[in-house]
Chains A and B, each alone.
Chain A
Amino acid sequence: MSTVTAPVVAGRGQYTGTARLVRLALRRDRIQLPVWLLALIALQAFSASSVFGLYPTEADLRGFAVATAASPVALATNGVVSGYSAGAVLASQIVMPLSLAAGLMTTLLIVRNTRQNEETGRAELVEAAVVGRKALLTAALVVAVGANVVLGLLDVVVLITQGLPLAGSVALGAAVAGAGIAFAAIAAVTAQVTDSARTANGLAGAALGVAFLLRAVGDMAGTVTDAGTRVVTGWPTWVAPIGWAEQVRPYDDNAWWVLALPAVFALVLGSVALALSEHRDVGSGLVPTRPGPARASRSLPTAVGSAWRMQRTILFWWAFGVAVLAATYGAIGDQIDDFLGSGEQVTDMMEQLGGGTTNMVDAYFAAIFGMMAIAVAGYAVQALLRMRGEESAGRLESVLATAVSRPRWMLAHVGLVTAAIVALQLLTGAVTGLAFGLVTGGVPEQVVRLTGAALVFVPATLVVAAAVALLFGALPAWSAGLSWGFLALCLALGPLGGLLGLPATVRDLSPFAHIPAVPAAQVPCTPLVWLVVIAVVVDAAGVVLFRRRDLTTS
């Protein structure tokens, strides 16, 4: 008996089914991707109109460009300055943050469509069909490149409708898309290395963080030329994909050749990822997951111990980020007097952000601490929403079927996060004080003074945390969206509220509006006590409502 079969040719059909998988990925991300794109474009449009509104004349633009180029903190957080046309000033404000956001969007997109599919077993189902070995990864890369191209094109449209020149707009869109595509390739590699989606995201996220820091160092170490309107960066900016986007210098140089860097980088790393994917089994990583302890530590099987185990990784990453930011802001504190003295607009801005005007350095720290406190509130929202994550994943059901009561379980998380908020604010103040003290002298004195100032923000952050606890108790299915929405509202009403010119009664809705501008202002006790009382009452209400409701699993 003989059967006729088509000979199997090695290497052929490895991409079979890619088109179908692209459609699958698009179907899956049909909400997420448009939301990301719209949010980034809205950010672009908002920045453009605010730059044009704040600096209407050429003199204003020039003044702002000179001030920004002279300030290491502005260079570190915004990006290089290159020229003073309206477009160039906008580019100096937006290219770096937008590239960072595009990198984040793309990283999550790649891992979601590759490693997460493998971890959940969906990839197995797909690969058992008529699908080539490289199709899944190729499809994810195609979608990622497509998403960044669309982002770039939308960007160009928005910029042109704002009246900016075509060439520069295309350069800006391409620079941002290039950075996103570079991170698509990085995420494609990290997704091959580990068998956990969370770790793959973490590794790619770390690459994003390193890229941000490298170019921050490069930009700060740059030299200012062209009458203060142009920064020639140090070498670290040239080794980071986000730095490449900056080096395109839209509306100024329009250095098209720089775009070859992310293109080559993505091609090389993408090929590496595809090659790696051939050398491993579906579902496994190149680095196998190591076995862990067969027994739990003595502290794990307790309400607080298990909550700590679930919370500690988030906290460590936030602590790291907060420490880096605080050190940066502290180290440049001594230059604030020169910097702020030169730009009137920036002085106004600082005042509106919450600082007083009596002492420029203290006003600067008050503004910085106000921003950092909202960042810490972001930590609180993320950490407390882990409770909802545990519930919808079904793990909470098993835990509450043991002898742990609902209030005890919830209070363990709320208590830990409360302690973590205090710890992060302590860290903010202490590290800022340490760095500032090192450059100006008087370390112990600055540490004590600025730590005290940073702690004044704790009550407001506790109110945000309590709001998350209340939402978790009252509206579990909506808790995530509403919690992040509340935080966004605090941001809009607080630091940005002054810039937007909102009336005081509306701004008072944010708990941060009731915190005095320390260290610039005096500390009245009454509002702080009230905020703590509100936080405790709202937390208690959250626990009571959680005690009374059904558990829901998604």
Chain B
Amino acid sequence: MKHVPITTHGIYPDSGDGVPVRHGRRDRHEHRVPTTAAISVENLVKTFGPTRALDGLDLEVGTGEVHGFLGPNGSGKSTTIRVLLGLLRADSGEARLLGGDPWRDSVSLHRRLAYVPGDVNLWPNLTGGEAIDLLAGLRGGLDESRRAELLERFELDPTKKARTYSKGNRQKVALVAAFAADVELYVLDEPTSGLDPLMESVFQDCVEEMSDAGKTVLLSSHILAEVEALCDRVSIIREGRTVETGTLAELRHLTRTSVTAETQRPVTGLEAVEGVHDVRVDGLRTWCEVDTRAIDGVLRHLLSFRVTSLTSTPPTLEELFLRHYGDELARDGENHRRAESGTRAR
């Protein structure tokens, strides 16, 4: 099964009630209620000296789900994952992994999961093939044919010494060692850093295969296109706290859709329609932002001015993301693009 093209936004057909519908296999998962939780984290707190890395974080990942774990650098993604792997001990809060305690039951739980760190460090004098066998063997073995197939798909030469590998190739070693293992849960912490677009697409295929086989995947990432293409649900965290969680459709529902219309007569009175923001009329062209649930009323209003062309762009994940971090970015004076669109809207 091939994945959906990942780079174009706004390709989703409108289902009529304002909720965008996604292409591809994700329709099956979209509204599935998770039966059991593979990962369940409640009110997790972890401090490093004066720094509060996790500040009451919540995370719920259903079995069989591909869950996107989003947040900027330093927001606590890796810390959460290290707590889930029993590498760090939480100060307070509840964390359950595959029905067990990640700290106490770490060994038995690790047999059932595979982990790919964002920055893979290998033993300089071992070859890539030896490192794969070492990591997989310590977990309890791997699927031989799958190992060979993955080496080929990721175009990895297993006879090279690890110190001669580039960052991307080190990453591939960890990916092959993880995906060649037959486990229930894959914990991937920014696994594709350093991979080229071709290998990124092989990675996405692998995640989809795992998902089709009913495996659970926790994918921490800040490549939003990757998350958009792969994930059933996402959790967005900020400063050690979960700020949003849900399916992409649900998240989109909370945000605004951009509407651009051309009409035969100049549009008037649009500001009065419920859920409409930032209206701009320039002759026969009209732009506005609409709360996604209120889009029906806007379309009805526009129809009376004889619509000749209409574009409706659902919010991208990037926009969702910026909604949570925008103020932070604006404060830092870093987000030029947003500052620009801000002036235009006013």
Contacts and interface: CB of A to CB of B under 8 A. Distances in A.
A398 B163 contact: no
A402 B135 contact: yes
A264 interface: no
A296 B137 contact: yes
Interface string B112-137: 01010101111111110110111111
B159 interface: yes
Interface stretch (A41-49, A88-96, A285-293): A285-293
A302 interface: yes
B137 A300 contact: yes
A310 interface: yes
B39 to A, nearest CB: 15
B88 interface: yes
A551 B139 contact: no
Contact of A393 (B108, B121, B139, B160): B121
Looking at chain A's contact residues, the main secondary structure is loop
B60 to A, nearest CB: 22
B134 A394 contact: no
Given A401-B87, A403-B140, A394 B121 contact: yes
Contacts, number: 114
A10 interface: no
B285 interface: no
B127 A403 contact: no
Nearest to A408: B107
Interface residues of B, number: 43
Nearest to B157: A291
Contacts of B158: 294-295
A38 B229 CA distance: 60
A306 B138 contact: yes
Contact of B127 (A292, A310, A394, A399): A292
B268 interface: no
A309 interface: yes
B89 A550 contact: yes
A398 B174 contact: yes
A397 B107 contact: no
B160 A302 contact: no
A293 B121 contact: no
A303 B138 contact: yes
A399 B161 CA distance: 18
B138 A302 contact: yes
Nearest to A306: B134
Interface string A395-428: 1011111111100000000000000000000000
B89 A398 contact: no
Interface of A: 119, 195-196, 198, 289, 291-296, 300-303, 306, 309-310, 393-395, 397-405, 548-551
Given A404-B107, A548-B89, A550-B89, 17 more contacts: A195-B163, A293-B129, A294-B159, A301-B136, A309-B126, A310-B123, A394-B121, A397-B117, A398-B120, A399-B138, A400-B85, A401-B87, A402-B135, A403-B110, A403-B139, A550-B88, A551-B87
